[in-house]
Amino acid sequence: MKKIRISLSLCILASSLFFLFSCKKEQIENQSPPTLTEVITLTARNAPIKSIGYGEWIIIKGTNLRTTFKVDFNGTLAADSLLYGNDSTVTVKIPSSLTDPINNPITVTTKYGSATLNFQILQPAPVITSFDPAAGGTDDIITIKGNYFKGLTGVKFETTNATIISSTQTEIKVKVPTGIKFGYIYVTTPIGTVKSEKSFGLKFTIFDEAMASGWSNTSYSSTYDMNHTTTVRRGIKAIAHKFTVGFGAARFTKATPAFSTSGYTHLKISINGGPGTSGKKVRITIVSGKSFDLILTQGVWTDYQIPLTNLGSPATISAITFQEFSGLASQIYIDDVGLY
């Protein structure tokens, strides 16, 4: 019995010593500085990449990376919660916005040093969400809003360069070039070029400061002021239109002959909704049986651009009707009516 107890004690002691020395061995850190060799993705781990976009997950390969505590993308740090490392790799999510549109070297810092890998992290192609005002004359300042404008290299109205006043990642201010009355806007960065969804200006104007020759206001169940100067989209005048009953209408009529739509693709109008109009409808009709609904916004100018294909593809226009279609006697303001 005594021998058994001694043997058992020796076994326990041996196991304890083994565990102790094993732990000490594991606690010894590699104190060599880090090195970086290449970047791969989570889905293609055997194919090194030369560039990638913002906001993507990547794996940085190298050596001595286990104690990594910081990954810097050209001055922008990755979030601590989005960084995982072992001795040969660091998995990290690239921030959604960086300093440069293309060149963003990666610096990895461990307890024992730092290493930098020159690498291209590309911002997305530019995006235009809106521009304001929707029309204007030479040297008027247009504000273009969107995203990924860093590194901006140019803005054009069709093929004509615009003078850039200022730019940030999300906003550009430019002057309307001489002689430009209408056209699409193009924004270019080192990543690419984007075309505005809506066109600038009007090819043919039905109303801006006054009705065009041959056109008249023939609205019904409404009152209107053609010389309103308080709530104006641009210039000095707009139409203050009051629907006196629900389903009344603003209507613009062309005297004989009817207006030919040859060369035009869209109807354009700017409307500012009066009190109670948010979410309410105005229904546009050119061809009987074909219509398109606009959703109003209270207290804000909204620039609408409606394809003529959505209005029955009329060959000619004798009248355009903007009918209140929510059953609400309401006030709206109208400006910049025309075709593109």
Q: Tens of pLDDT along 289-313?
A: 999 999 999 999 999 999 999 999 9
Question: DSSP states of 24-71 as a string?
Answer: HHHT----SPPEEEEEE-SS-TTS--SEEETT-EEEEEEES-TT--EE
Q: Mean pLDDT, the chain, as a whole number?
A: 93
> What mean pLDDT do residues 61-87 have?
96
Name the band, by pLDDT with cuts 50, 70 and 90, for residue 1: very low
Q: How far is CA 250 from CA 47, 156, 214, 216, 241, in A?
A: 63, 35, 17, 11, 7
pLDDT for res 27: 55
Whole-model pTM above 0.85? Answer: no
Q: Which of 25-34, 241-250, 252-261 has the lowest mean pLDDT?
A: 25-34
Residues 6+ apart with CB under 8 A from 336: 134, 135, 202, 205, 207, 208, 233, 234, 268, 269, 270, 303
Instruction: Give the helix/strand (H/E) hosting 110.
Output: strand 106-110
Give the three-state DSSP class for 188. strand
The tally of CA atoms less than 13 A away on the side-chain side of residue 320 is 24
* Residues 154 and 188 sit within 8 Å (Cβ to Cβ): yes
In the chain, the amino acid numbered 68 is: T
- What is the C-alpha to C-alpha distance for residues 238 and 232, in angstroms, rounded to an integer? 5
Q: How far apart are CA 279 and CA 257, in angstroms?
A: 36
E strands of 119-248, at which residues?
120-122, 127-132, 141-147, 154-157, 160-161, 163-167, 171-175, 182-183, 185-189, 192-195, 200-201, 204-207, 215-217, 222-228, 238-243
Residue 10 has pLDDT above 50, yes or no: no
Which stretches within the chain are classed as H helix?
A: 2-26
Mean pLDDT for 143-156 is: 97
- pLDDT at residue 282 tops 70: yes
